[in-house]
Structure 1
Amino acid sequence: MPYTQGLKPKKPLNKPSSCPELWFKEKVLKHVVFKMQLDSLTRAQSPDHKASTELEKKVALNFSRIDLTSLLSDELLLRIFSNLPDSQRKSNSLVCKRWMFLQGRLVHSVKLLDWDFLVSGRLLSRFPNLTDVDLVAACIDSPRNSGILLTHKLLSVHIDADFLPGRFVPEDNLLPPALIDRGLRALARGCPNLRKLVLIAATESGLSSVAEECPTLQELELHHCTDLALHGISACKNLQILKLIGTVDGFYSSVLSDIGLTFLANGCKRLVKLELSGCEGSYDGIKAIGQCCHMLEELILCDHRMDGGWMSALSFCENLKTLRLQSCKRIDPTPGPVEHLGSLPTLERLQLQRCQLRDQQSVKSLFLICDTVREMDFQDCWGLDNEMFSFASQCRRVKFLSLEGCSLLTTDGLESVILSWKELQSLRVVSCNNIKDSEVTPALSSLFSVLKELKWRPDSRSLISSGLAGTGVGKKGGKIFKRI
């Protein structure tokens, strides 16, 4: 006999609950089943029990075909569906029309591909509780069956094999303005709780209907934007985040100048974040935004076409906390006299990503305006050498510095600046090939030992542990040293 002493009996495998078993866990269904069983026992004791056998069989057959979920209210089913993972929602909507309708009520974000689906009213009847809608792809008449998908960081479009280079989204491929306005009016009437909207080639009329019917709209992204179109969003009193895209090289081109920025400033006075991509403008437009939008905390300029002198208007943004420049071929060729530049007293973060820093006057003026900044972030900026970086020494309140992909900056250039920053606490240096471990001086290594955070990988051969041997980096309590 095999030895079995001390062995616990195996637990039976838990059989996954079937759909009916799950529904029967509800108290309402248990009560219904109990009542039916009680009625069955009562009939069994009656004299005419045998006569009713055939009838009971028919009733039992019909009962097996009843949809038990019909006994549950819409509110209870919605609570159940909302706890399911997103991967199951699509399959649940295929069970029946009722489930499809209820699942549609749980959808809040949609990226539309077919404009007729909006104009016909099917979008709003299918998803009545939308708060986030992206209409860009639906506004572009592109071949859906094309095997060529052109992707940009701002949008993606399908193109034919015989496309014309230089303009992937020509005017002919955009929907007619009247049709876009019609769709926006339908969207505004059906989604009064809309919070975010993304669209392209919008007109003043269409945006006005959205501004009037959707008082809770907080975030708006406009592609192919013009000055006149911005006049339509002046009624968006609660708008907080706005992204305007005037020109995208190779895709489309439109003019957004000081006129549109002035319309924007006078209407949307609660803006907290503003991003201008491929936009024109000058001192007057930035000044109007600074004077009217007192709540503005973040300003992003991407590939701007601003006229010279625009940077001196930044001082009107008195509550600005973050200034970010992305993919700018130039900063400001003629920033003007130093005494007219002013400063940003509340600025906390200055970020420059993929910018060309080749003009000394503009770079020096930028650091003068941002002299109170606490965090600096340079990423893949061409032209940032020792001389350009030396202008940052006047920003004496910097606590965090990040350098990535700045290949012209050397160890001497880095040391000459950060040793003058008495409040520096964190340093991050990544992929800066001219910064060498072997050139780290005792003064610089002493600074490293008191930093709260240090991320040091200037090149793939960097061995900071051997280059800073004996400095005590990473050994003192409370100090953090990370290698990435």
Structure 2
Amino acid sequence: MPFSPEKFGVESPLQRSRRWSNLWLKNKKVLNNVLFNVRLQKQQSSPKQPIQPQPNNQKPIYVSPKKPNKAQDFVNSQCVIDKTSLLPDQILLQILSKLPKSQRNSNSLVSKRWLNLQGRLVRSIKVLDWDFLKQGRIFYRFPNLVNIDIVNGCLFSPRNCSILVSNEVLTYWIDSDKEGSCGLLNEGNLVVSSDVDLGLKILVNGYPNLRKMAVMNASEMGLLNVAEECPILQELELHRCNDQVLRGIGACSNLQILKLIGNVEGLYGSVVSDVGLTILAQGCSRLVKLELSGCEGGFEGIKAIGQCCLMLEELILAHHRMEDGWLPALSYCENLKTLRFLSCKSIDNSPGSDENLGFCQAIERLHLEKCQLRDKRSVRALFRVCQGAREIVVKNCWGFQDDMFRVAAVCRRVKYLSLEGCSLLTVEGLESVLPSCLELQSLRVISCNNIKESEVTPALSTLFSSLKELRWWPDTKSSLSSALAGTSLGKRGHRFLKKTCDWKSLPGI
């Protein structure tokens, strides 16, 4: 008969291990914390022992203080929950600055101290609530800003609205119940100019070292205050700008990058003419990059910019409403290196004769994107003005066909040519231009559906072989053959795909 410990009142090893006393003794960390708390309560409850007087004129007995217990100090150090509280702010700031920007939001949730320290590391912000700026809360939350965008803060968005209007310039909410809105901005949706000027005054007093700013519906006096209080301001973006507002920009002597947005179709309308561009040119002589969006200037305004802004290297024209005959004024921009056209309905309907056009001596890059190139005369004048360009990019432009592309043969110094989304171009157009580009090194042909690989001549193939870089995806078939090159997909599935597609006829397989 087997021996049973329960029968004789003897505990088994399993029952002995389940005792609370055994489990308590095994967890030494919990026991140390309990002992430390007990000793700490005893020390706080028991008063200090005074000197004990002795009768019969005997010498007093002094109670010797207890020696510090190193074990208790070790246990006390383990009870510290936030060890970063022992670090000074400067060291913790250096540690937080090394972390990736994607962790900023999570780091600010650790404690109030981390929230304040993380705010001191932020240099750029977009203000969405105007009261956040007007009440001064922005200075306590982000004391070291150098880049501020308050465009969206200048808009009043209705609450509980479900329609979001998005544009290349703005994104805002509208009220569907309000009659006559139609997605347009009116005076009721904007902060008035006087309040914007007051906000700018508060802003520049708190951040005198601003380097970049974006503002909407500001007046001349508001921008004059910015120019006086922020002498190192280098980049400025103005929405809903006009000629009168440009008088305040003239005081920004150190401004290098400027973006003016005058008229935006479907949102708001304002006029920037030759008068405003002339005032701008005389005041901001150190401009390096200028972007004009929805402006109505002409020959005199561009000429003044070219004569006064001698350091101008990049000019961007977006949705321009320039007067006829403005294109010859580009020849006055002697140091212009980059010329970009974005979403322009036309270039210049009346550029004038070739003798009066001139050309940009330092031009290096010509970019055309989402433009309507239907007038051969204006396109020809543009390429003649930029005949010294080394880089030409044409992307998603309407009406750009072989006749338009042939006039680009005057650009004989081009080294980089990119054609993307030009659905009217054919191989014949390439053959009429590429042989004249003797310095061509890189060629990109993407999503040009009328350019067929079967129509490429041996002479054009020889030219392709001499290039340093070639990206050839004119249509979906060519991109498919490039993607399948070096794989055995066509060989394995030729029995099943023989009727739908001839895989062996594709090059590279």
Structure 2 equivalent of residue 337 of structure 1: 353
- Note the alpha carbon deviations across 1:52-71, whole angstroms, 9 max, x for none: 99xx999x989957865444
Q: Greater CA deviation, 167-176 or 386-395?
A: 167-176
| Amino acid of the structure 1 residue aligned with 2:255 | L
Cα distance in 1 for partners of 2:261, 2:340 equals 16
Structure 1 equivalent of residue 21 of structure 2: none
Unaligned runs of 5+ in 2: 1-47, 49-62, 483-507
Structure 2 equivalent of residue 362 of structure 1: 378
Call closer, same or farther: CA 1:371–1:63 in 2, change over 3 Å: closer
Q: For the Cα contact (< 8 Å) 1:456–1:464, is it kept in 2? A: no
Cα distance in 2 for partners of 1:92, 1:432 equals 48
Q: Greater CA deviation, 311-320 or 233-242?
A: 233-242
Structure 2 equivalent of residue 132 of structure 1: 147
Structure 1 equivalent of residue 52 of structure 2: none
Q: For the Cα contact (< 8 Å) 2:165–2:183, is it kept in 1? A: no
Call closer, same or farther: CA 1:463–1:76 in 2, change over 3 Å: closer
- How far the C-alpha of 1:383 sits from its partner, in A, is 1.1
Alignment length, in residue pairs?
Answer: 420
Aligned pairs for 1:472-483 (under 5 A) are: none
1:98 aligns with 2:116: no
Structure 1 equivalent of residue 3 of structure 2: none
SS state at 1:295 partner? coil
| Amino acid of the structure 2 residue aligned with 1:123 | I
| Amino acid of the structure 2 residue aligned with 1:99 | W
Structure 2 equivalent of residue 20 of structure 1: none
Cα distance in 2 for partners of 1:363, 1:92 equals 54
| Amino acid of the structure 1 residue aligned with 2:191 | L
- How far the C-alpha of 1:90 sits from its partner, in A, is 2.9
Structure 2 equivalent of residue 21 of structure 1: none
- How far the C-alpha of 1:117 sits from its partner, in A, is 1.2
Aligned pairs for 1:321-470 (under 5 A) are: 321-462=337-478
- How far the C-alpha of 1:219 sits from its partner, in A, is 1.1
Cα distance in 1 for partners of 2:476, 2:77 equals 73
Structure 1 equivalent of residue 487 of structure 2: none
| Amino acid of the structure 2 residue aligned with 1:280 | E
Aligned pairs for 1:63-462 (under 5 A) are: 64=79, 69-162=84-177, 164=180, 167-462=183-478
SS state at 1:446 partner? helix
Q: Structure 2 length normalisation: TM-score? A: 0.78
Cα distance in 2 for partners of 1:367, 1:90 equals 49
Cα distance in 2 for partners of 1:223, 1:172 equals 17
Cα distance in 2 for partners of 1:239, 1:99 equals 35
Q: Greater CA deviation, 160-169 or 290-299?
A: 160-169
Unaligned runs of 5+ in 1: 1-42, 467-482
| Amino acid of the structure 1 residue aligned with 2:155 | I
- How far the C-alpha of 1:103 sits from its partner, in A, is 1.7
Structure 1 equivalent of residue 494 of structure 2: none
| Amino acid of the structure 1 residue aligned with 2:475 | D
Cα distance in 2 for partners of 1:103, 1:464 equals 49
Q: For the Cα contact (< 8 Å) 1:396–1:421, is it kept in 2? A: yes
Call closer, same or farther: CA 1:63–1:204 in 2, change over 3 Å: farther
SS state at 1:432 partner? coil
- Note the alpha carbon deviations across 1:408-433, whole angstroms, 9 max, x for none: 11111111111111111111111111
Cα distance in 2 for partners of 1:390, 1:464 equals 29
- Note the alpha carbon deviations across 1:37-82, whole angstroms, 9 max, x for none: xxxxxx9xx84549x99xx999x98995786544432211211221
- How far the C-alpha of 1:270 sits from its partner, in A, is 1.0
Cα distance in 2 for partners of 1:157, 1:176 equals 17
Q: For the Cα contact (< 8 Å) 2:155–2:189, is it kept in 1? A: yes
Q: For the Cα contact (< 8 Å) 2:174–2:183, is it kept in 1? A: no
Structure 1 equivalent of residue 18 of structure 2: none
Larger radius of gyration: 2
Call closer, same or farther: CA 1:464–1:67 in 2, change over 3 Å: closer
